[in-house]
A and B are shown apart, each in its own frame.
Chain A
Amino acid sequence: MTGFRRYVVRRLLLLAFVVWCILSIMFVLFQLLPGDPTAIFVDDNFSPEMIDRQKQLWGLNDPLWVQYLRYVGNMLTFDFGNSFFQIEPVAHIMADKVQNTCLMIVPALIVSVVLGTLIGAVAGWRRGSAFEQATVATSLFLHSVPSFFVGILALMIFAYQLRWLPSGGMVGLGGPEGLWEMIASRDYWVHLLLPGLVLVSREITGPILLLRSSMLEVKGSDFLDILRAKGLSEHRIITHATRNALLPLVTYVAVMTGLLFQGQVLLEIIFAWPGIGRELVQALNDLDYPVAQAALYVMALVTLLLNLVADLLYGVIDPRVTYD
């Protein structure tokens, strides 16, 4: 087995262990969560016998270890059961909500990474310039301001006062329904503008600051002198330097995507965006355990997988990394 394969196997085993730990911790946490779920989904007037019947239906009367084994097996096969209240498979609910969250964060992520890379590279290359100073100051400011605050502010100005942009939702009333129909519509992009810009305003700061620092390191490299000696234009030299400075960004983007995926609860609430974060909060409030468990699990899994991808990609794109 080559060093890389051994590394991949080791990482996969580690991933499986971490997933098991997360599942177990979640199980214990949900057991300790205040509130008896049956108290929520049965009618106040139900007799003890009827309540007990509901518990049996949901398997809540089984011994704890039986519940645990059934739970781990189901989670690993993505069988999340049925929602207590929504009377539909949680997997359907999750698929819908994950898609909605992706519709908000993926465009914002692409814009943040592309634009952030360009701005960061130029800022790093032009160290000491007014552009660099302004970029760093603005980035630090935007990075420090909570995105929900920017969100509320943006909403008040652009939606409530100026009325330039819609204040929430993924599309307007009666707008397109299917995924591709929605993406192809102007309505979706107009609705995405405000939450998307708020997201970009924060997420762009990471690539900018990272690329700037990375660029500063690359800038002093010998290979740039060789390129200059070959008579390459400034533009071509910056392009070469940027490609070398991009390596740390790969890991960062993977981690950032995971965090972005799970961290948009407040924005989803502010902009009435029916994503997975809002669903999680609602499920916790309602004590809808199957939905809450699935939402947490999906969020954790996405983060872990993206970390794995970053680790593996790093070795692939940087020939200096070895596994022996």
Chain B
Amino acid sequence: MADDNGIGTPIDRRSLLMLMAATAAGAAFPGIGGEAAAAEPAIAVENEKYRRFYDGVSGYYMKDPGWVAETTARLTWPKAGEVVPEIGVLVQSNEPSRIDAFRKWSADAVQLGLKYNVQQVSEARWLDLIQAHRHGDIEVHPAILRPERVDPAEWLVSRAYGPDRRNYGEWVNEQYDALIDAQTKESDPAKRLEIVRAAQKVLAEDLYITQFGWGPSIIEAYNAEAWDGVTQTRGFGIASFNGFHSFLKMQPKTARKSVKVGMTALLETTNLMAAGNNMRSIGRMIYDRLAYFDENLNIVPWAAESWSRLDDRTWDIKLRPGMKFHDGKPVTVKDLKFTFDFMQKWERGIFWTANRFLDSTEIVDEANGVLRARFKQPYGQFESYFMQLNVILPQHIWQNIMQEQGVGDNPRQLRIDRPIGSGPFRFGRHRKDTELQLIASKDHFSKPSVDEIWVVVIPTLDGLLGRLESQEIDFIESSDTTLRPSQAKQAEKSRHIKLVTTPDVNWLHGVCRVSCLPWRDFEFRRAWHHSIDRDFLVNVAWEGAGRIPKSNTFLVDGNPWNNPDLPPLPEFDLKKAREILKAAGYSWRADGRLVYPAPTDAAFRERVTRVSKPGYTWGGLKMLG
């Protein structure tokens, strides 16, 4: 790791650019920031165990002069008569519905004396700024379901857990973090559900996130003259390679047994170890996972016929008998053992998170294909995460591959031109960025009724719709692409096209920068929540394709881990918001801007110091002075 003090070692690019931005070089490159170099930061945390998160990464947070300057200003007690600063919001410029929604919410917020500064930025810039926690006051984030997100921890941890760098609002609620730690270690699914529900309750009560809308809905169109028997999978739809039940069960209505699916992009790589979204989803059809999920997201056995829990850190996994790799070789428990050994020996790419708690594996019954997996600590994510993500690699192909290809210790660099797995489809013809043939494996235990899938690249949604209308494709792959109601209505004019809307568990939420003023004040947060007109987002910006959220949770209604007893969301009521602010000591300047309570207001100081709702403990950033 780079030397954090920056002395005696080369400075990395990011730090150099930030240094330039903070010094005279900023004049030469005004585009890369103009923050003044911060003085020695005096920023501290309430609970020292969280300090490493803020000062442990070179170029980020306490080691980023820009972050320090911005944060210092917001951790300084306001002077008498000081107005609440502009609320900075960063929205990706390719998301018009979010921009429209914030236009409305900004206009509404004027009645509270708040002024928004909504900036539109590119996807890359947005990602860079949120990861540096330099996105302003509200981080706006969508959630689209992926198989690994069927497990509740993916969202509960990444978006709200104190020590996680993706906790963009820097919320550190010690009770919440304790529950998250507990659910990770709770191996009894029923008990884990209780803990997960309790964590959701803390999250909702402390008003950290706000759910703007649940959705957008998964609206898909397909060629119903050619295909029948499509299967709707909750959260995925009918034509997602992540939830591929349709492609196993659909029946041709004509003599053609080859289904054509359009996608905006194809495989960036065919190496599963270095896979991005598309290879991960298509890879699920080529490499069997140990477990899968059914149409209602319940975990079901897949390549593993069954599993049994021996204690809270040990499981026996029984492999399904009779499976074959696509080259005809049998799948054995030795292959499974080899896969885990491989993942543990080498840097593990996307499988790192799935296996980081794995301690060891051993074959306990070779004849019956039973492998024992032992974890380093009590483990709660066995079924919904570990079994969902892990694959079976053919040992006869992979055992010497690292040495043969000379990629050192980095399997991400492997060239796997023709992936061989044991999944329901085998890798056929592939022309990069153009087409991919997936041939049905007819001896698979869940054999597809189609003969093959041709995946075709059409880079735009308009192009996909045009090809669907002209019957050049039958489905639009829906991992990343769903239709707006107006587009669906247009598509429906073609006689052969049928529309399907699948219940989703998606959401769009905002995370306020709760570590800083004015968000540290629970009463301010409460008032602000009343200023969000969610109906506008769902019924105008999303054209009605979504749901008005019932509560502030990541695990929304329809998700098997949802807590149905959460406090309801504060309704849109600007009058009530003003009353809350007034009661909390806020006032308004002559020009209507909201003014902080007086510096001598003990209740305000107490709320800002405490940050969390009474009853919870704040462990994050401290006010200065």
- A residues near B (Cβ < 8 Å) are 31-36, 39-40, 43-46, 48-50, 52-53, 55, 57, 60-64, 66-67, 82, 85-88, 96, 155-156, 159-160, 163, 166-170, 173-174, 177, 269-270, 272, 274, 278-279, 282, 285-287
Contact = CB atoms under 8 A, between A and B. Distances in A.
Query: Considering residues B122, B276, B437, B470, which has the most beta carbons from chain A within 10 angstroms of its beta carbon?
Result: B470
List 9 A-B pairs, minimum CB-CB distance, nearest first.
A35-B124, A34-B125, A274-B433, A63-B10, A85-B268, A35-B128, A45-B353, A87-B269, A52-B1
A31 B15 CA distance: 12
Contact of B10 (A31, A40, A61, A170): A61
B541 interface: no
B470 A160 contact: yes
B204 interface: no
A287 B124 contact: yes
Nearest to B459: A269
A63 B347 contact: no
Contacts of A34: 121-122, 124-125, 128
Given A57-B410, A173-B435, 13 more contacts: A31-B13, A32-B31, A34-B128, A36-B128, A50-B352, A61-B2, A66-B10, A87-B271, A163-B470, A169-B456, A173-B260, A269-B463, A272-B457
A167 B13 contact: no
A61 B352 CA distance: 23
B14 to A, nearest CB: 6
Interface stretch (B412-420, B547-555, B557-565, B605-613): B412-420
A265 B460 CA distance: 13
Given A60-B13, A274-B433, A86 B268 contact: yes
Nearest to A44: B166
A276 to B, nearest CB: 11
Contact of B32 (A32, A44, A85, A159): A32
Contacts of A66: 10
A167 B127 CA distance: 34
Contact of A87 (B14, B56, B121, B412): B412
Nearest to B408: A57
A62 B456 contact: no
B4 to A, nearest CB: 10
B1 A48 contact: yes
B250 interface: no
B470 A167 contact: yes
Contact of B429 (A48, A64, A174, A285): A174
Contacts of A274: 432-434, 457
A32 B29 contact: yes
B329 interface: no
23 contacts: A35-B127, A35-B128, A36-B128, A39-B127, A46-B352, A66-B10, A82-B413, A85-B268, A85-B274, A87-B412, A87-B414, A167-B466, A168-B467, A169-B434, A169-B456, A170-B434, A173-B435, A174-B429, A174-B435, A174-B437, A274-B433, A274-B457, A287-B124
A285 B459 CA distance: 13
Nearest to A97: B433
Contacts of A49: 1
Contacts of A87: 269, 271, 274, 412-415
B269 A85 contact: yes
Interface of B: 1-2, 10-14, 16-17, 29, 31-32, 56-58, 121-125, 127-128, 131, 158, 166, 260, 265, 268-269, 271, 274, 276, 347, 349-350, 352-353, 410, 412-415, 429, 431-435, 437, 454, 456-460, 463, 466-467, 469-470, 472
Query: Considering residues A36, A62, A278, which has the most beta carbons from chain B within 10 angstroms of its beta carbon?
Result: A36
B472 A63 contact: no
A213 to B, nearest CB: 39
A40 to B, nearest CB: 7
Contact of B269 (A45, A67, A86): A86
Contacts of A31: 13, 17
B464 to A, nearest CB: 10
Contacts of B352: 43, 45-46, 50
A49 B12 CA distance: 14
A33 B122 CA distance: 11
A174 B439 CA distance: 13
Contact of A278 (B131, B166, B268, B433): B433
B491 to A, nearest CB: 12
Contacts of B32: 32
Query: Considering residues B166, B349, B431, B454, which has the most beta carbons from chain A within 10 angstroms of its beta carbon?
Result: B431
Contacts of B122: 34
Contact of A50 (B121, B265, B347, B437): B347
Nearest to A63: B10
Nearest to A66: B10
Contacts of B124: 33-35, 40, 285, 287
Contact of B466 (A45, A50, A160, A285): A160
Contacts of B410: 57
B460 A270 contact: yes
Query: Considering residues B166, B410, B467, which has the most beta carbons from chain A within 10 angstroms of its beta carbon?
Result: B467
A173 B128 contact: no
Contacts of A155: 463, 466
Contact of A169 (B123, B435, B470): B435
A39 B271 contact: no
Query: Considering residues A39, A43, A272, which has the most beta carbons from chain B within 10 angstroms of its beta carbon?
Result: A272
B158 A44 contact: yes
Query: Considering residues A46, A274, A278, A285, which has the most beta carbons from chain B within 10 angstroms of its beta carbon?
Result: A274
B13 A67 contact: yes
Contacts of A82: 413
Nearest to B413: A87
A46 to B, nearest CB: 7
B29 to A, nearest CB: 7
Contacts of A62: 10
A270 B352 CA distance: 38
A286 B277 CA distance: 12
B14 A36 contact: yes
Contacts of A287: 124
A40 B353 contact: no
Nearest to B350: A43
A168 B12 contact: no
Contacts of B125: 34-35
B472 A60 contact: no
A269 B458 CA distance: 8
A221 B101 CA distance: 68
Query: Considering residues B58, B415, B466, which has the most beta carbons from chain A within 10 angstroms of its beta carbon?
Result: B466
Nearest to A272: B458
Nearest to B469: A160
Contacts of B466: 155-156, 159-160, 167
A168 B458 contact: yes
Query: Considering residues A63, A87, A279, which has the most beta carbons from chain B within 10 angstroms of its beta carbon?
Result: A87
Contacts of B458: 168, 272
A88 B415 contact: yes
Contacts of B269: 85-88
B20 to A, nearest CB: 10
A63 B433 CA distance: 35
Contacts of B127: 35, 39-40
Nearest to B417: A88
B90 to A, nearest CB: 12
A52 to B, nearest CB: 5
Contact of A64 (B16, B274, B350): B16
A117 B98 CA distance: 51
Nearest to A67: B13
Contacts of B10: 61-63, 66
Contacts of A159: 466, 470
A88 B269 CA distance: 9
Nearest to B464: A272
Contacts of B16: 64
Nearest to B268: A85
A52 B14 CA distance: 12
A259 to B, nearest CB: 22
B2 to A, nearest CB: 6
A50 B1 CA distance: 8
